[in-house]
Amino acid sequence: MAKSRAKKPDPKAEEQTKKSEPLDPKAVHELFSIPGPYEPPPPPIPTKGYVTFWDAGCSIQTLAKKQPKLFSLPELLTERFAKDSDSWRWRQLRLEPIEPGLTFADQEKLLATGDKPAVARELVTFLVLHFLTTGEKLEMCRWRCTDKVESGRRVIVGPFGDFGLEIANVSDLWKSPGIALSAICTPRKK
């Protein structure tokens, strides 16, 4: 009969727990040098497997102008998705992307209830915010987003390459072990 051993605490998990408090919305706006928020709501209830962050609503173009060294500036930054902005709000991004190596349709079937593919702007905002607050470029494969470029191909974000954060596009039918699907959920209120 095998003996069961108590699992030693993972120092990385403990460190992540300490860092799990989301950055104050006003601090996020200061980092991006943009006005607001005036009366931000409190952070949502933490959800296991997701990171909570304040989305300042900036477009990818705005983030690229404010932090040019973090971007590999492709022609894609002139596409509609890169110009879109949104209202500021809390977001929860799934830390583990959906199964790489499948088509977009097959990946989408694996989304948890309440999840949806992230908009490229949301994912880019999180990655830039993570870097600015920790100094670390998140190790990741390419994550599909909900946005499409004019040709109909889907936007993919990541990883950070030698020249900055890579933003490209790929067919929905393309299968690659290096392309996963991003997932974001609407946070529950406290």
The band of 37, judged by pLDDT with boundaries at 50, 70 and 90, is confident
- How far separated are the first and last CA of the chain, in Å rounded? 46
Alpha carbon 26 to chain centroid distance? 20
Q: In the prediction, which pLDDT does 22 show? A: 80
Q: In the prediction, which pLDDT does 11 show? A: 44
Average pLDDT, the chain: 87
What is the arithmetic mean of pLDDT over 86-105? 96
Name the residue with higher pLDDT: 188 or 178.
178
Stretch (H or E) spanning 80:
helix 80-83
Given a contact cutoff of 8 angstroms between Cβ atoms, the answer to whether 95 and 50 are in contact is yes
The band of 76, judged by pLDDT with boundaries at 50, 70 and 90, is confident
> Cα torsion for 63, 144, 79, 85, to the nearest 10°?
-50
CA distance 138 to 32: 19
What is the arithmetic mean of pLDDT over 62-75? 86
CA distance 27 to 16: 20
Q: Is the peptide bond before 9 cis (omega within 30 degrees of 0)?
A: no
Tens digit of pLDDT for each residue in 134-184?
Answer: 999 999 999 999 999 999 999 999 999 888 999 999 999 999 999 999 999
Given a contact cutoff of 8 angstroms between Cβ atoms, the answer to whether 108 and 181 are in contact is yes
Q: What are the φ/ψ torsions at residue 17 (nearest 5 degrees)?
A: -60, -40
pTM: 0.86
Q: In the prediction, which pLDDT does 77 show? A: 84
Tokens coding 155: 């936007």
The band of 38, judged by pLDDT with boundaries at 50, 70 and 90, is confident
What is the arithmetic mean of pLDDT over 64-84? 87
Sign of CA dihedral 60, 62, 67, 73: positive
Domain boundaries, the chain: 26-32+45-185
Q: In the prediction, which pLDDT does 13 show? A: 37
